[in-house]
Amino acid sequence: GQNIDQPTEMTATEGAIVQINCTYQTSGFNGLFWYQQHAGEAPTFLSYNVLDGLEEKGRFSSFLSRSKGYSYLLLKELQMKDSASYLCAVMDSNYQLIWGAGTKLIIKP
């Protein structure tokens, strides 16, 4: 079966750095996405990785290792507005998006 694992909840302090991990086992691989979703709102796109390595975009970076079936999202200089759920999703060989259950990130002052 297809499976994506990410922690259910994480807590971090404003101004700090947090790393949200995602491991996956899917039928094929056509890229990995990270989305941010604030409570009651729609998911918004953060990053896309298809090759191994680190993609940096401002305060957010995403890393991928295809051989390990592993990705992480790194958030720097945390702000209160970063409190949200972070969803990892993998596109499989049928171009279907397989979603993780999401990681709820709580930022404390």
Partner 1 sequence: DTEVTQTPKHLVMGMTNKKSLKCEQHMGHRAMYWYKQKAKKPPELMFVYSYEKLSINESVPSRFSPECPNSSLLNLHLHALQPEDSALYLCASSQDRGGANVLTFGAGSRLTVL
Residue with tokens 């989305």: 35
Distance CA 16, CA 23 (A): 23
Question: Across the strands, what pairs with 55?
Answer: 62
Q: How far is the CB of 18 from partner 1 (least distance, A)?
A: 20
Query: CA-CA distances (angstroms) from residue 74 to 9, 11, 18, 38, 93?
Result: 15, 14, 6, 17, 26
**Contacting partner 1 within 70-89 (CB under 8 A):** 87, 89
Q: Residues 13-42 vs partner 1: string with x where CB under 8 A? A: -----------------xx-x------xxx
Q: Which of residues 48-67 bind partner 1 (CB under 8 A)?
A: 48, 50
User: The tokens of 44 are what?
Assistant: 């918004």
Q: Residues interacting with partner 1, by CB under 8 A?
A: 30-31, 33, 40-45, 48, 50, 87, 89, 91, 95-97, 99-102, 104
